Amino acid sequence: MKTDVVVVGAGPAGCAAAHDLALQGIRVRLLDRVEFPRKKVCAGGLTVKARRALPYSAEPVVQRTVSSLAVSCRMRRQRFFTGKDPICHMVDRSAFDFFCLQKTVAAGAVFKIVNRIESIVETRGIVTMNTDFGPIRCRYLIGADGVHSRVRLLTGRFKAIRFGFGIEGIVKDLPDNDPGMGFDFDKVCGGYGWVFPKKDHINVGLYTQRWPARIRRQDLADYASRRLGGAPPEQVSGYRLGMGGWRYWPGRGRVLLAGDAAGLVDPLLGEGLYHAIVSGRKAARAVTDAMDTGCDACRSYGFALAPIQRELLFARFAAAVFYRLPDMGYSLLTSPAARIPLMGGFARGMTLLDLVLNGVRFWIGRI
């Protein structure tokens, strides 16, 4: 089997890449190990910037839109951030991913189930994947197959990946008082607890940027009980997150990594959707340009990732300071000097670095 581009992984990064490639008339095959809809563990918070990065509207799968949130440090000194405009859209990741896949197939991509990739051989003009389905040959390969990327493993690209950890579950017994969206910083070492309300349940979890993580199911149950009361969470799952992407350089050739496979998760908040979507689209653009002009796709992609990597490097620095000095960081976060521009920046879809710069400009303008 031969095609122009193969994208491995039909999550947000893979679908974003395959969707854009298909719209350009490029023959693209999108591979995954499972049928969709599939179970996907994720808090399911689609930020304003992530929603805007999508090449189509996500409105059909948005379960709830929030414009305020509660924050605390070690579940003390709770503060409320409120605003008039949305700051986050709540989705169920299984439904969201299936929706993105449907949009991608409608654009012209061919979806195929492949259980296992045995080897990947890159020659001067072609990439050959040996799979349980048989050999697949393509001009370019985009690995968007998540934190445990088979493409990354078999090609030996980006060995410096780092990991964070999250554990989550759902609470169906909704409390009488709507808890809203919330973050409880320093509830676990190097991270926080979260509460994300959906249409008919609440997603509750714990996140840490540190690996290996010492977070147990009982820790989640204790947090949920204290935060929400009622029955313990159901469908509890733990998972790693791909980080360290500020070090990723695609090199040269015909294999590109996107999303978690390239370690593009923000270490401060553990957000991966935005960078997954943006990196997938940038990978598609690099491949399209290479096919049109003959330039090196990996080199072009590496330069295109520079803004994302600056964001990740800044987030790494911010996480190191914030989680090492959580009381000081929390006092700064909840001060009027930070709270007012932060809420405005979230609503405008700003990145973390832009949020900080926006805050500086906001207060300079008031002097």
Q: Mark the ranges of the chain whose per-residue pLDDT is less than 50.
A: none
Q: Do domains 2-64+89-162+243-366 and 163-242 have the same CATH topology?
A: no
**Domain range 2-64+89-162+243-366, CATH class:** alpha beta
**What pLDDT score was predicted for residue 364?**
52
Sheet of 68-73: strands edge to edge?
76-82, 68-73, 181-185, 191-197, 202-208, 162-171, 234-243
Cβ-Cβ contacts under 8 Å for 245 (sequence gap 6 or more): 161, 262, 263, 264, 265, 275, 305, 308, 309, 312
List the chain domain ranges. Answer: 2-64+89-162+243-366, 163-242
**What pLDDT score was predicted for residue 93?**
95
**What pLDDT score was predicted for residue 349?**
92
- Answer yes or no: pTM beyond 0.85: yes
**What pLDDT score was predicted for residue 359?**
61
- Asked if 278 and 33 touch (Cβ cutoff 8 Å), the reply is no
**What pLDDT score was predicted for residue 358?**
66
CA distance 110 to 152: 22
Q: Was domain 163-242 assigned CATH 3.40.190.10? A: no
CA distances from 277 to 28, 178, 211, 283 (A): 17, 31, 25, 10
**What pLDDT score was predicted for residue 365?**
57
